Structure 1
């Protein structure tokens, strides 16, 4: 007959070994998950870049004269999503923030409400994203795109402010 203390020691050793095995397995899964997230991030960035390049090529080929009142909203385009569609149109007089896709509109509104220059990592909590490096870089890309299109200014590297381009620009949602 086995003594109770010896049986408990054997069960404890088996449980300890199982915990170590599960910890190793969890660490391996965490590494695989991070790799999958990195792959997803690269694919998202690639898709956005391709859509932007196609939109810019399409816009440079056609260059229609669109009056400020004739601008289509973000959901009123006739082309399929991401193909030949400029998601963030260049800012021009009379164009309001409502023409921007939701996340870009949120970013512009957050910066408009800020008392001074804003960094990408300061925007993250306000748009409901975690402050991970990947998400910060994605938001920084959106900020840079808004600068390129004239919606924002980048006075110092990484410091974004609302572009002041004409009368009524102080009011982001003015229509």
Structure 2
């Protein structure tokens, strides 16, 4: 039996398989590079999210604009002194309004409007409390900052995977 024709046939098959295998290795290398770029970009986004979240507590909260009516600041003043939820009737008493149904319903409408503005929270049907108090009761855990020292600037360097540098100056 002659082995040379068999070896030649194997050589042809090896050459036929080697070219696609080389192409696949090249594609894998390119995909690996793209995967590393995507992972780096995700890492930068995670760092940015962590930094922004940590810095968010350092900026004062901007209170929403109150509707134009003299009762709204007075209502908030009553809630500042309140130790628990209040009903529209309680608010009317605190504001020295007569306990007529039109006054109670008008006050309830104002309280509901403050709920829509995220200033107050409806606790039960007809009971309202300040949003900060409700959030505190939901969380029940003190806030701990992710950063222990004051920061004057935080920078994430730009590379070809991020659109631009992010610089936050306090």
Higher-Rg structure is 2
Say whether the fold is shared (TM-score over 0.5): no
* TM-score bracket, shorter-length normalisation: 0.3 to 0.5
TM-score by length of 2: 0.39
Normalising by structure 1, what TM-score?
0.38
